[in-house]
Structures are given as structure tokens and as C-alpha cells.
């Protein structure tokens, strides 16, 4: 968690560095960063008038350009460093398979909300897996992870190399003058980045180089339709009761239906949270795997970092384990409600023990049902694919679990491998005995190379290749693998270790004949049928095991919890004080015409995708303007750099003083991706009388 200043990046401006302990983190800073500014910046962001603040990054230098990407997403067009002048820029180098990258997203969201006018976050998606290089798949990931900042597809890793990045995630900070300040790698750096951003705000406010005009981006979510299921993650089938349980992950709920699709129950409100209670009050945060014991459903509440239980008879949800915060330590376990968890992703039960695929620390954890403890079971915590004893073997983002009553079977998504783990016959979770082996896929290569041996190869054992598998099911000695990034279901013979494609063309799609899947993440088998969570297609596919005929499961009566939501609106923003306008004497009329002329920076134009909106208020008592025209945000037409609006009057003569606010967006020409948003305000005294020569009020806006 070291913030490395610009003097250490490839251009190498040599300077003496000091190492200090700040906020409990080890941070490397240049001497100027330590010149007595800590206390001042902590207490206030603006210096006293006339007082200069020293540049916290004196050894900065011009940042490389954001050129070389394949396509921009969450933006109307490409974005350059020049477009972002005046803003602090945080560049997130990420790839959508990476659990550590997922853990950074809440921190980015926090910083974006804390500094909405000062900070712009740019995602640079530099792929690890081949499947991650496709822009369409990144678009799906942006929707799945609910990312609200621009992302460039750096498929050829050109931008990655320009910035000298060597690991995911890495976060680079640029100042408002387009200068590279430094970088930090890994997760858990929110406090450090917050302090760095705070200092940059203070310095550039004092210098006058900070532009606090809000910006707006054209988000992918505004172009997508909601569906009854949204990125379903895992599924569980209970053949005895004829029920199918679906983790409707991006709707933050669980769906229970009959095997023929008849809706039985919806568990959860659909809003993110962690409230316990009845089905209509309970909340989840992107739940994933489930396990069923009797009438108790165990749930991996992944982004809440909790384990939950659902009493299917009482129809209530409770918290079993976790504190609702991510565990960033190497704590081996402890009491259920006092031990932090880290991205629990899937669950299975063997002989009264609940096993948890804990994706965050690359481990399997275990909880003996009825006890008050949860603890590490397998995995050293090092991310790799190595065999060995339970405590020495390494896993890599375990994301799916199954069992045959004796052994655990695990998909290690980042290592693209299928693992087998012993369960202790004595159920001694304090000192378990057993080992971890690899059934299919590579393992035990030096220097972590096992993490980069992936592909689509049907072969045996070590020679087989998968691409980021996420789910699995077992039947009659065969494992069926949701080989997510190959868009297939593969079959693995546990004894012979032979791997073959069972179904799927290898290309993402929606066809049922031949079946095409799109990053399937969950699979379950019962009654001669396979149920697949076809995640990126927002559907459940049912496949007959004998004929391989596939159809989509339609859940009658299921709707999105967001189906009644209103479209997202532009937030009310302001960067201008109220301008007093001289008395406007207008001819007696039934409508007042207003024309606003915009003077925009060179190279910018009004954004046609962001309608100009206006709001009227009355200053004092008046009867000239009808009440239904006041306090209501309305759209106005625009042509070029001019906007016109017409305000009906209640009578043809009279007087009033109006407060007019106009919100507008303007973007760089040539489909530039950065759109600034501003609001201008005027106080306009009006007098309508017979004999006046005009009915038009003309206003002028000069945008930064």
C-alpha cells in the first residue's frame, strides 16, 4: 500500500524520498509532501486568503496520453488528458475477472461521491484473459459491477505500458494540470487516496487551477433495458421439493420458483443493504452461492461479506456470519458474528459442515453447523495453483463448490483449474487432515505461471485448459463445469481426468439451437435436466441431459424490482451565482419568450444527449405566472448555441420577479467523451404592459 510519487515512474526524475507512517499505512513521499501540510489539509481544504500552499508533488511531470485503446465505454467518445484539465484524475488499471479489482470499486465509488466536482475516475481495462479483450464483454462487466465512470478498452495494453503498470489493480493520480503525481497498487488504499486527493484540492484551489464544473458521462446503464433476472450468478435445485433457487445477483435478491418456472417467492427488496427480517424487508448485496439443509437456505451474500440464512418456513432472513465489512487481514477465523469475511462466493454442505469458497483470500473456509465459529479450512492465502496439504496448498479465487459426500470439488477461476479437496473424516476443523490436488488444468508451475495458463483445450488432466470457470455440478462421477469465458459447459471425468466440451459453441450468443451461452456462472442438475445460470444473457437455460435440447426457463409473474423506477436524471448542480437582470419591459402577451445564448469554450458544443432544462421560481408574491409553471423542472429546445423557452402567463399585463435556473451540458466536438454540466441563475424583474416593443428576454451564458 505504498503511494509512489512521479519520481519513481519510468521517466525517473531522481529525488530523495522519505518513508513515513501515515494513517497506519507505509507511504513513500517526496520531501515537499511533508512540509507541515498534514494538519492544515486535515482541518480544511481551503487555505487562508493570501496564504500559499506548497505543491505536494513538486517532481511531477506530464502524464502520458490516454491513446491506444480500442473503444471507450460509459462515454460519448474518446477522452484525452487535455479534456480533463482542471480535474484531479484517478486512473484505475483493472481487469474484470480480478477479485482485487472488484474490491477497489467501492472505494472508487466513495471517492467519486465525496469529490463530485473535483475528481474524475477513468478506468483502463487491460485484460488478462482473451475473453476480456472484447468490448462487448467489458460493457457487460460495467453493467454487472455498476460502474459509473468512463472505461477504455486497453485490449493491446498500450496505455498499460505507457504508464509502466505491472499489476492489477493499479491506481494512478494526475493533477489538474495533467501532471503525473504517482501510483498505488493493490486494494485497501481508500484512506491514502483520500489524503492525496485532499492535498491536491487544497493546492490547486489556492493556485486557481482546479475546475469545479461538474462533468457528466453517457453511461452504458442508460442504454440498457432491465430484465426480470439481472446477471443471475448461482443456482440451486432441490429435486425433492421441485424448487429452483436463483441468486438474482444484480437485483440483490433471491428468486424461488418451481422447476416449470412457476414463481413461488422473491426474497429481498431488491435494494442494496443487509437488513434481516421478512422477505419483503430483507436486503442483500449481490448474493451468489447457496446451500440447502432441510428448510434452511444458506446464502453467500458476497458484496456484504456475510453469510445469511433463510428460514423457508417462517419466510425470514438472518445473518449467520460476518460483520458486514471486508476482512483484509490474515485472521484464521473466530466467532461467527465477530469475524470479518472476504467475498464468500459459493457454498456446499458435507456431513454437517458448511464449506465456503472465500474468493477474496483464495481459501476455503468451514463452519460446523450449530457451532459458533467459522475458520480457514484449506489454502495458504497465496494466489496460485499448487497442490499439497490443506494449509500449504494454494488456491486462486475459488468461485464454485460441489461435493460427492466425501470430497470437495472447486473451480479456481483465476487459475482456470479444477481442484479436489479432502474433507476430514473426523470433522476436526481445528486440525483438519487432508490435501489439495488438481484434477484438470495446470498447476505447480514456478513464479505463479499457473495463473496465466488458460485456453480452450479438451484433453486430459494437466493438458486440459479452461478460461476462468465459475461454477460446477457433479453427477455419476462426472463434473460439469461452467467454463465461463469459453461460454461452454465442459465435462470432467473425475477418475480419468478427461475433459470434453459438453455443450456450447465457444462464442457468446443467445441462440438455443445450437446453444450459445454468455459467461455462464452457475450450474445445477436434477431430474435428468441441467439448469444453467446464463449470466450475461440474464436468463436460466434448461438442458435435457439425454438429448441436450435447450430452452429458456420463463418465470411467470417475475418482474424487475426496478421496473417502476423513473429514468436517471441529471443532478441539480450549480457553479454560478445569481445574476441580476435589469427590469424587462415587455409587450402585453400570453407568453414570455426567453432566449439564452451560450458562449462555450473553443472546441465545445451543447450536448444533444443532455436536454437543456430550466426551473422557474417566483421571488415574492405574484399572480403573473401560473403556479403550475413554477418549481417544476422542464426541458427547452436548443439550436446550435441557443436555447429558447416560452413561459405562459396567467394574464397579459402585470409584474413579477422571477428566478430562472438553466442547466446545460457541453462536450468537446468530434464526439468527445467529457461533458461538463453547469447551471446558470438569473433574477429577472418583469413588467408586462401595453405599448412595449418586445416580448423577448435575452440572456447570455459564458461557460468555462
Domains of the chain with bracketed CATH: 4-222 (3.40.30.10), 458-563 (2.40.10.500), 578-702 (2.60.40)
Position 572 scores a pLDDT of 45
Give yes or no for residue 16 having a pLDDT over 80: no
Write out the three cell numbers for 47: 487555505
Peptide bond into 514 cis (omega under 30): yes
Contacts with 166 (C-beta within 8 Å, 6 or more apart), sequence order: none
Average pLDDT over residues 652-668: 89
CB atoms within 10 A of CB 562: 12
Give 428 or 434, the one with higher predicted confidence: 434
φ/ψ of 108, rounded to 5, equals: -65, -45
Position 267 scores a pLDDT of 98
Q: Which residues pair with 512 in a beta bridge?
A: 515
φ/ψ of 196, rounded to 5, equals: -60, -45
Write out the three cell numbers for 397: 479465487
Q: What are the tens digits of pLDDT across the range 547-598?
A: 999 999 999 999 999 755 544 444 444 455 899 999 999 998 888 999 999 9
DSSP string, 98-163: -HHHHHHHHHHHHHHHHSTTTEEEEEEE--SSGGGGSHHHHHHHHHHTT--S-EEE-TT-HHHHHT
Query: Is the Cβ–Cβ distance between 516 and 507 less than 8 Å?
Result: yes
pLDDT band of residue 424 (cuts 50, 70, 90) is confident
241: Cα separation from own chain's centroid: 36
pLDDT band of residue 50 (cuts 50, 70, 90) is low
Alpha-carbon dihedral sign for residues 535, 541, 544, 550: negative
Give 85 or 35, the one with higher predicted confidence: 85
Q: What are the tens digits of pLDDT across the range 74-91?
A: 998 899 999 899 999 999
Query: Is the Cβ–Cβ distance between 497 and 210 less than 8 Å?
Result: no
Give yes or no for residue 35 having a pLDDT over 60: no
Q: What are the tens digits of pLDDT across the range 506-537?
A: 999 999 999 999 999 999 999 999 999 999 99
| Spatial separation of the C-alpha atoms in residues 175 and 87, rounded to whole Å | 7
Amino acid at each position: 500500500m505504498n503511494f509512489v510519487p512521479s519520481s519513481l515512474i519510468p521517466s525517473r526524475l531522481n529525488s530523495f524520498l522519505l518513508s513515513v507512517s501515515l494513517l497506519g499505512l507505509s507511504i513513500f513521499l517526496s520531501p515537499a509532501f511533508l512540509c507541515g501540510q498534514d494538519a492544515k489539509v486535515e482541518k480544511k481544504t481551503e487555505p487562508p486568503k493570501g496564504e500559499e500552499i506548497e505543491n505536494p508533488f513538486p517532481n511531477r511531470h506530464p502524464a502520458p496520453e490516454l491513446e491506444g485503446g480500442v473503444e471507450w465505454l460509459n462515454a460519448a467518445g474518446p477522452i484525452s488528458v487535455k479534456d480533463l484539465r482542471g480535474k484531479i484524475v484517478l486512473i484505475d488499471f483493472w481487469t474484470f475477472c480480478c477479485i482485487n479489482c472488484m474490491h477497489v470499486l467501492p472505494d472508487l465509488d466513495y471517492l467519486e461521491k465525496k469529490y463530485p466536482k473535483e475528481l474524475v475516475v477513468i478506468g483502463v481495462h487491460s485484460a488478462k484473459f482473451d475473453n476480456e479483450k472484447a468490448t462487448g464483454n467489458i460493457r457487460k462487466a460495467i453493467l454487472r459491477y455498476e460502474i459509473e465512470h468512463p472505461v477504455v478498452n486497453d485490449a493491446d495494453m498500450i496505455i498499460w505500458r505507457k504508464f509502466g503498470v505491472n499489476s492489477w489493480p493499479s491506481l494512478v493520480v494526475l493533477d489538474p494540470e495533467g501532471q503525473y503525481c504517482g501510483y498505488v497498487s493493490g486494494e485497501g488504499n481508500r484512506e491514502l487516496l483520500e489524503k492525496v486527493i485532499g492535498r491536491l484540492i487544497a493546492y490547486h484551489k489556492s493556485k486557481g487551477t482546479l475546475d469545479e464544473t461538474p462533468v457528466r458521462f453517457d453511461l452504458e446503464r442508460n442504454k440498457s433495458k432491465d430484465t426480470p433476472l439481472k446477471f443471475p450468478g448461482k443456482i440451486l435445485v432441490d429435486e425433492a421439493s421441485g424448487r429452483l433457487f436463483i441468486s438474482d445477483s444484480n437485483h440483490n435478491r433471491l428468486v424461488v420458483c418451481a422447476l416449470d418456472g412457476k414463481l413461488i417467492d422473491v426474497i429481498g427488496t431488491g435494494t442494496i443493504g443487509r437488513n434481516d427480517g421478512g422477505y419483503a424487508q430483507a436486503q442483500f448485496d449481490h448474493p451468489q452461492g447457496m446451500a440447502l439443509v432441510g428448510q434452511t437456505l444458506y446464502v453467500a451474500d458476497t458484496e456484504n461479506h456475510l453469510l445469511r440464512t433463510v428460514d423457508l418456513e417462517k419466510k425470514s432472513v438472518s445473518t449467520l456470519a460476518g460483520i458486514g465489512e471486508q476482512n483484509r487481514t490474515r485472521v484464521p477465523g473466530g466467532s461467527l458474528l465477530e469475524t470479518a469475511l472476504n467475498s464468500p462466493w459459493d457454498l456446499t454442505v458435507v456431513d454437517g459442515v458448511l464449506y465456503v469458497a472465500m474468493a477474496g483470500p483464495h481459501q476455503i473456509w468451514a463452519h460446523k453447523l450449530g457451532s459458533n465459529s467459522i475458520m480457514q479450512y484449506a489454502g495458504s492465502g497465496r494466489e496460485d495453483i499448487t497442490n499439497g496439504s490443506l494449509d500449504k496448498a494454494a488456491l486462486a479465487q475459488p468461485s464454485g463448490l460441489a461435493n460427492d459426500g466425501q470430497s470437495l470439488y472447486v473451480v479456481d477461476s483465476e487459475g482456470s483449474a479444477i481442484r479436489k479437496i479432502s474433507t476430514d473424516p473426523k470433522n476436526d476443523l481445528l486440525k483438519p487432515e487432508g490435501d489439495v490436488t488438481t484434477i484438470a488444468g495446470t498447476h505447480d508451475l514456478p513464479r505463479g505461471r499457473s495463473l496465466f495458463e488458460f485456453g480452450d483445450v479438451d484433453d486430459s488432466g494437466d493438458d486440459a485448459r479452461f478460461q476462468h470457470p465459475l461454477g460446477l455440478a457433479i453427477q455419476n462421477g462426472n463434473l460439469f463445469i461452467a467454463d465461463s469465458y469459453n461460454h461452454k459447459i465442459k465435462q470432467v471425468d473425475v477418475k480419468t481426468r478427461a475433459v470434453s466440451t459438453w455443450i456450447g459453441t465457444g462464442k457468446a450468443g443467445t441462440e438455443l439451437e445450437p446453444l450459445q451461452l454468455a459467461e455462464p456462472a452457475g450450474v445445477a442438475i436434477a431430474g435428468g435436466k441441467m439448469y444453467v445460470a446464463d449470466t450475461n444473457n440474464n436468463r436460466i437455460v434448461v438442458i435435457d441431459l439425454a438429448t441436450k435440447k435447450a430452452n429458456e426457463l420463463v418465470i411467470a409473474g417475475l418482474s424487475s424490482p426496478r421496473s417502476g423506477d423513473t429514468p436517471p436524471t441529471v443532478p441539480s448542480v450549480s457553479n454560478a451565482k445569481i445574476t441580476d437582470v435589469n427590469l424587462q419591459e415587455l409587450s402585453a402577451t400570453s407568453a414570455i419568450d426567453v432566449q439564452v445564448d451560450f458562449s462555450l469554450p473553443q472546441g465545445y458544443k451543447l450536448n444533444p444527449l443532455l436536454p437543456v432544462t430550466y426551473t422557474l421560481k417566483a421571488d415574492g408574491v405574484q399572480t403573473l405566472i401560473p403556479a403550475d409553471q413554477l418549481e417544476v423542472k422542464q426541458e427547452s429546445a436548443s439550436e446550435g448555441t441557443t436555447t429558447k423557452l416560452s413561459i405562459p402567463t396567467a394574464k397579459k399585463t402585470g409584474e413579477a420577479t422571477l428566478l430562472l435556473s438553466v442547466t446545460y451540458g457541453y462536450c468537446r466536438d468530434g464526439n468527445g467523451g467529457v461533458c461538463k454540466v453547469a447551471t446558470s441563475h438569473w433574477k429577472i424583474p418583469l413588467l408586462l404592459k401595453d405599448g412595449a416593443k418586445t416580448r423577448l428576454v435575452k440572456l447570455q451564458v459564458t461557460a468555462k
